[in-house]
Chain A
Amino acid sequence: MDEKYKNEFGAFAPRPQVEKKFYNGKYIFAGLIVFLAMVALPFLPNVGKTIPPPVRQLDTPVIQKIAEKDRQCIMPTEWMRANHMQMLIDWRDNVVRTNEKGAPNGRYFKAPDGQKFLASLTNTCMECHSNKEKFCDQCHNYVAVAPNCWGCHLTEGKKLAEAK
C-alpha cells in the first residue's frame, strides 16, 4: 500500500500512525455495567417468580342472588374488560360536566338493550362488584396499573351502606 493516501486533489501527508487498541476501556465497560444494572433494577425483584394470572371473582352477595343465566354486566364481559376504563372516564365527564355549554350530558348510561343505569362507579359498579380486592385490584396489580379512582370514590355505595 501507498505510504501516502490520495484523494482527487492529490497526495496528502502520511497516514497518522495510531496504535490499534481499545482506548478508555475501563471507563467504557464500567459505564456499561452501571447502565445495564440500572436498566435491570426494576426486573430484579420478580426474577424467578411466577405470578398467577388473575381469576375472575364473582362471588359477591349481590351477584350470587342473581340467577346464573341472568348474570350479565351492563355490557358484554369481553367489551367491559377492554373498555371499562374509557367508559368510566366518559361517565365521569358526562356526570360532572352536565349542563356545561356544549358538553355531553347525562347521569345515566343506556345499555344497548335499553336498560338504564346510574352512571356511578360507587353506586352502580361497586354494588355488584363489592369485592374490590379480588375483582379490581387483582387484575390491576397483574398488569401493573394503579388507577387512583379510590383516592376519592368510596368502595361502598349508598344502597349497600343503608342495607347494613
Chain B
Amino acid sequence: MGIDRREFIRIAGLSTLLGLGGKGAFELLRPGQVEASMAAKPAAEGVVRWAMVVNMRKMDDDTAKKCAAACHRVHNVPNFAQPKDPKDALPPDIVNRYEVKWIWPEHFHNAFPGEEHPHMPEQMKNLPFLLLCNHCDNPPCVRVCPTKATFRREDGIVNMDMHRCIGCRFCMAGCPFGARSFNWKDPRPYITDTYPGYPTREIGMVEKCTFCAERLAQNMMPACVEASSGALVFGDLNDERSQVRATLKRYFSIRRKVHLGTNPQVYYIV
C-alpha cells in the first residue's frame, strides 16, 4: 500500500470533514477491504487459491472415517484413547479434553449450528460432515497470533509454524470453527504407528490442518482427498478448469458460519 504521510493526512482529513466515519474512511484507505472479507477474492492471473469441496452426496460414515484416519496417520496425530503402553491409558473425559484432531466427522447440527430444522431430510441429520480448518480468506487466527506463528500463505493456505508458536492459545479462542488443537500432553506415547515422513509435536503448541502443504509441495493431493474415493475434491479455485470450480458450478454448496466474515474455503455440497 503506497501511501505517504501527506496523502494519509489528506484522506484522513477529508473523511473526517465529510463525516465519513467507519466504512467510509476504510474505503478511501484500503478500497475493497470490507467487501474482501465477505466475498471471495477476485482471481489474479497465475495465483493459486487452494480450496476443498466436501461432497456430502458421496460421503458415508466409512469414507469419513477413512479420510480422518489417513490424515491423522500421515501427520502423526496422536490418539489419546489408544496408548502404545497400556500404562498410559486415560479416562474418556480426559481423552476428550486432550484430543488433537485435524479433520473429523460431525453431525449437521454441530457442523452448521442453527441451520437445522425439524423437517429436513432425516438422512441429512445423520450424515458425517467432515470438519477441518477452513483456510479462511480472512482468518481470525492469523489476526490474533502475537508472533505470526500462524500465517496466511499467498496460495490461501493458513499454515502453522510450530517452531515459533508460544502456546498462548489466542488462536484457539479466535477460531470460530473449533479447528485448532493444543498439545496438552506429550503426544508421542499415543502415536501407535509413527509415520516417518512428518514430525511429531512437543507439548505446548497449537496445531491444525495445513491442507497438506508438505504433500502439495511434492505435487501430491492432500491425504484425506486421496482416501475419500471422490467425496472430497481439492484444487485451485482460481483455475477455471479445475475440478473444484467445476463441482462448485454444478452443485449448490454451503459453507460454515459465513455470516462471521471469515470467508471459509471449504465448501459442502448437500
Contacts and interface: CB of A to CB of B under 8 A. Distances in A.
Contacts of A96: 159, 161-163
A98 B163 CA distance: 14
B192 interface: no
Contact of A100 (B153, B162, B201): B153
A122 interface: yes
Contacts of B38: none
Interface in A108-164: 122-123, 148, 151-154, 156-158, 160-162
A107 B217 contact: yes
Contacts of A100: 151-154, 159
Contacts of B118: none
Interface in A85-101: 92, 96-101
A134 B163 CA distance: 25
Contacts of A154: 194, 196, 199-200
Contacts of B7: none
A92 B199 contact: no
Contacts of A158: 196-197
Nearest to A156: B196
Given A96-B161, A100-B151, A152-B201, A160 B217 contact: no
A99 B155 contact: yes
A82 to B, nearest CB: 22
A59 B260 CA distance: 59
Interface in B197-243: 197, 199-202, 213, 217
A34 B207 CA distance: 47
Contacts of B194: 154
Given A98-B213, A154-B194, A161-B196, A92 B154 contact: no
Nearest to B201: A152
Contact of A151 (B151, B152, B202): B202
Nearest to A107: B217
Interface in B146-164: 151-155, 157, 159, 161-163
A57 B155 CA distance: 43
Contacts of B157: 99
Contacts of A153: 199
B241 to A, nearest CB: 22
B153 A98 contact: yes
Contacts of A161: 196
B8 to A, nearest CB: 22
A136 B202 CA distance: 20
B162 A160 contact: no
B148 to A, nearest CB: 8
A98 to B, nearest CB: 7
A123 B198 CA distance: 10
A63 to B, nearest CB: 20
Contact of B199 (A97, A98, A122): A122
Interface of A: 92, 96-101, 107, 122-123, 148, 151-154, 156-158, 160-162
- In the A-B complex, the 3 residue pairs with the closest CB atoms: A99-B153, A161-B196, A151-B202
Given A154-B196, A158-B197, A160-B196, 9 more contacts: A97-B159, A98-B153, A98-B213, A99-B153, A148-B202, A152-B162, A152-B199, A156-B196, A158-B196
10 contacts: A92-B163, A96-B159, A96-B162, A96-B163, A98-B153, A99-B153, A99-B157, A151-B202, A152-B162, A156-B196
